Structure 1
Amino acid sequence: MRSFARVKWWKLSRLLPARFKGEYDLRYKIALLILGVTILATSITGCISYQSLRRLIINKSERNALLEVRDRSNNIDRWLATRKTEIEILANTPPVRSMNWLVAEPYLISEINRLQEFQHFALIEPDGSYFTTKVGRALINVSDRQHFKKAMAGEVYVSDPTISRTIKKQSIVPISAPVWSNSAKSMDKIVEKPIGVMNGVISIDRIAEVVEKLEYTAGTYAFVLNSQGVPIVHPDARLMGNIDKPAPSLLESADANLANVAREMVYQKTGILLTQINDARVYVAYLPLEQAEWSIALVIPRDNLEKELLPLNILAAVATLLLTAAIFAAIVALKLFARHHIRTRTEALLHRLTGRIRACLRPDRILQTTVEELGTLLKLDRVIFGWYDSRKDTLEFCWEYCREGLPGRLGIFGASGGPSGDLAARLHRCETIVLKKTVAPDGTASQEPPHLELINSRYAAVPILTQTNRLGYLFASANRRFATPDEVEVLEAIADSLAIAISQSQLHEQIQEELQLLEEVLAKLRRTEEHLIQSEKMTIVGQLAAGIAQEINNPINFIYGSLIHVNDYLKDLLNIIRFYGEQYPESVPRVAQQIENFDLDFISQDLPQILNSLKTRTDHIRQIVLALRNFSLPDEATKKRANLNEIIDNILLLLAHRLEQKILVVKEYSNLPSIMCYPGQLSQVFVNILSNAIDAVNSIEKSHQTIRIKTDIVESSTGRFIAVSIAHNGAQIPPEIQQKIFDPFCYTKSFKNFTGLGLSVCYKIIVESHGGRLSVQSPVQSQIESQTGSGAEFMVKLPIV
């Protein structure tokens, strides 16, 4: 860094003559300074006055010309708007809406006689076939035409000129409007499509007649460009083109000035500029038309617009000749003195900046220190560093030094009064620019009108290109003549130092960001490892559960089957005892005593009930074991048919131990068809959702804890779906969690007992494996609140296949 400062110092000091390396004679310097300042002030005042007056006169003439062009172009826009309205009105008449040419033809023929601006009308079917008032049914199709596509999209559209397919070799301008059905309302037009297109045809010669009426002064002429930069109306017919017979775009013209004008017109801009076309200096006033994708321009000879400048130019020439000698002497003396003055300050500033760069890697502190020291040492009014955005053509001022009493100008600024996208070139040329604030430093739109005026010869803008190819600018301005070659040399030296400092800080930040990224990747890898371990454990548990369920199922089936025979045997024994009692009412005393001790009547009534209870409980165990077995077994390679109501009932049976008496489960099942699916995967989805719902209702204290399960069949434009809604009146899910609840590794343990575990897997099962949809809403809609409160609702939609 020290060697860099020495190189820059040598580069500046070698420009100075040897005799100025000693001390100045104080009186000589003062006299020279006074003389130079006086002459310089006079010349600057004269130049500024001349430029100001000249600019005022030209601005006034330009404004008048632009206003005149705008007023005349409004006539063209009104003319086009009238034609569009006429076509739109015709499209909404009953004969046209009938889309029956036998009904519409007499009406359209009468209208073509009334509306003289149109050559003929056409009624176009949705497939592109059409009828015209010229030839009746046409044997060709216009479905590829842009005006037909726009009208079918619901727009009233003025097309670029094209060759008529009905009347060959004739250039026309079609105006099309959609034809809506009689039943279509204004709100339905957003959804429904037009039933046809009403088309009116205007000759390009009629457009040219309207444009030729745009006159300003003698020698002026007007032309019209379409959105591609191709002239559709122009005095030189060789340049004109249309859709079917395209002509070269003026954007590709060999005349760079003409191409620049065409570019401004294609970008739909409004303005007036001085340029050279066909070896003549002219003003071109241009603005876009509102009723078509065209721009119109008026070419005015320069002499016509600047004839009022002649007296001012004569006065300026005389004043310039009188002050030339004195100004030249003063400028030379001041230049030599400024070199010595800047040399000393540059050396100190460069050494300070070098030390700051070595001591700090924070770019904000480096830049703020640089602008403050530069403004203080050179006694400038304002020093600003900002970043340039080439896409938006704006400057973001981030660090600033300003003289006491001047307001700050931080924020995002855009240039006004010049062509868009040319701000960097204008700064390079040090043109006078007015920068207006668009966005405040906090990112909000600026409500105040602050601006920063950069006046030519009073500011310097030095570009700084960082290692990341981000372009910055160092601005220095003063209320005096500034930006001499020596002063720019100083700023360039400082800019080089800043570029190195910023590159170092950016490299440091990049290393820190990469370290942070590595830490995040490492944390994700750890979570992935934990997830894989847990998944492996769950796989083993599932296999064990399936095996245990199979082992339990065999004895339970035996017990259940045996109970049927035991019940039959018991009935036979009781019948025998009853039959014996009927045949021998008088029993042996000892037998009668035993019957009384055993309470045979009670046993006869209670024992069948006990056996029925055993049978019921055994059947319940069989159902639980079967549900556990179905849930634990892995799915087959192909889908099979299953009923979602049965799958949900099996899951509720497995979760019965968690559904305490205070949790009410409301089931609203519809009669669902069986669908092709992976039952095991869907069981996993419903287990996760219901488990989280149970956690959510248990996380808050409520007298009525409810989980509602509703199944239904819904239809949409994409097909028929089975919709399963699982809603609860437990804790709500915050919006920030809803946005990432289906992301992998989304753990929300801070939200009460709701964990969201497995929801990312559920999302993949529903969306990727079954082509369905999974969504969450919290709080739930009002129709659900009445039953379940304001908790959350998970909605699963599966296609019916």
Structure 2
Amino acid sequence: MDSALPAPANVVAMLGQSSLMAIMETSPVGIFYTDDRNQCLYANPQFCILTGLGLSELQRQGWLRAVHPEDAQRVRQEWHTAQTTGQWFQSEYRFLRPDGSVRWVYSQAQANQDETMLSSGYVGSCTDITKRKQTETELRRYQQAVESASDAIAITDAEGQIVYVNSAWVALHHSPTAAVFHNRSLGHFLSDPIAFQGIFSTVMVGQAWQHELEFTDHQNNLIPVFLRVSPILNPPHQVTGLVCIATDISEHKRIESKLRQFTERLQQQIEREQLLNQLSNQIRHSLETPITEIITLAIAEIRNLLNIDRTQFAWYKPEMSSTTWRVAAEYSTPDLVLHSPVEAARQWQALTPQLLRHETVQLEATEVMTESQQQLLRELGYGALLIIPLIIQHEVIGAIICGHSTPRLWSDPEVLLIQAVVDQLAIATNQTRLYTETQAKAKELEQALYELGHTQTQLIQTEKMSSLGQLVAGVAHEINNPVNFISGNVTHAHGYITDLLELIDCYQQEYPSPSSAILETQAAIELDFLQADLPDLFRSMQVGVDRIKEIVASLRIFSRMDEAEMKAVNLHEGIESTLMILHNRIKATGGRPVIKVVRHYGELPQIECYAGQLNQVFMNLLSNAIDALEDTPVQTTPTIEITTRCLPNYQVEIQFQDNAGGIPAKLLPRLFDPFFTTKEIGKGTGLGLSISYQIVTERHGGRLVCESEVGVGTRFTVTIPIMQMSAEVA
């Protein structure tokens, strides 16, 4: 203690009794004084207020009588203990005032000793703690509410360190005790700790935050919760902590997941039913719809519906030698390698015996697969394969093949769906067969009459084309012999003339002053001109010979007399040979500028076809386009555009488009009828397009379509398969 300050006893002496009395009378703390028999000798006004009794009543009854009955026994015991042990009396208890109100007090008392060190009484004080007790009661009530809450609740300090968690928080994290959370950051328990920075920055500016996220329990399991974080603000509105309320939404998420799965299954079922209904509708109208279109629709919808990398349909052809399967339609993701029909079928040829037993091939990357099955999947580049045979009258006639590049399991609903599609295709195929047989009987007479007239027309045209082909081939052969003779001798003649010119030049150098007779002869024959022009003359002769060779080659390619059977050829060569033959008609004439030929050639493989017949088609279509351009004045350059490209399902497309006047729409339906022509009398027979249509559709199983718009132009589109196969459905 500072020596400059007086001792408490000295202060009391300095103040005097009257000053001390004034202090006690005005003190906000209750002060009382009792004798050694607990008789109240003095109580200041604040003590009287706390007890609700006046000084006389306190002196008469004693202050212990004002203690609440529920606390009285305990307080008397504590007072007695303090008296007997000489210790301080300290206790919290209640006064029950006459008006029924209660005041909580914190009381302290000390024995008052005289000069002989004997107790002459007690002096004490009572501090009103009613508000504190009420606050504590409220806090206990809140704590009980928080502890009994089903939501997990945590409180952090202003730094985000956890200072309190309720039992639900402990249970949510599957922790044995709440102690593991204290003094640890809230972000420590988030699956994404970085997210805590966003939460903390939002709440620290006084705003609430709420969102769904995931907690991590002490076993690193993820717990989905809906978290709400609010700031705790002091009176200056400063953030002193955070209140975090987390609602466990695991069950909600589980139900939501089940609902989503149920919805997905329901949607898949709806889509499957729609697919089957669509196929059923197609089958009901399959007499008008080709079976190939129904098959194409089916495999496309299966791939899209089941999200499979590749779906195929193949016909079973036991009469073929190389492979007994031929892929007729295919849909796949763009990044998969597109195999040829033969190669695609050869890869799973080994599965034929199982399919012929009417068994479904279901290969999945599981432990039950044999080594040969695993090897087959590796060779095919698949992680899973499903093949379901198409059976009609106990015979396998085709199959649907589903392949996926990564491992997957074929679920029972998926297999049942594809089986249902196969059954629908079997109905459609059988229905088509029966309809074909029935219609064949009904149309025999009509077909015979048609074929008679058609055969007559065909014989005439065939004989004409055969004679033309023989003539062209003969002319080409006859021209080829002398051309080869000329071509071979032009080279030698050029050498001879070169030697002679060199000799003349040598003479001129050795005899620079020839006789007058030689000079007259040089002037007469224009020797200088001959020496300059002869090399150019021979080069022109060589160019002419080469041109004749090209024409002869084009005639031979066009006639194809040595390729009457079906074989794989380059279609672009046939088109170019036709253009070579028509070169004279393409050139400018007195009333028309040169016809511009624009080529848009795609990359085409070798096409299996009757090359001579297709060249005849190209000739007819190009000739018609040239005729149209000659008959119709155009404001722009007369143009023929030739476009070739590959199509899905192993087909190619060739388009011939002109910018002539076009064909009226009412004439288009009759365009391919025999003897129908839009040309003037004497200019057309009406057989060119009819024969072309027959060659494309009947001989090659393709399509020939005409689109035209008056004033714009006409486009003929030829579509044929890359490989020719017999009709899939007899």
TM category (shorter chain) comes to 0.3 to 0.5
Task: Give the TM-score normalised by the residue count of structure 2.
Answer: 0.38
Higher relative contact order (CA 8 A, sep 6+): 1
Task: Give the TM-score normalised by the residue count of structure 1.
Answer: 0.35
Higher Rg: 2
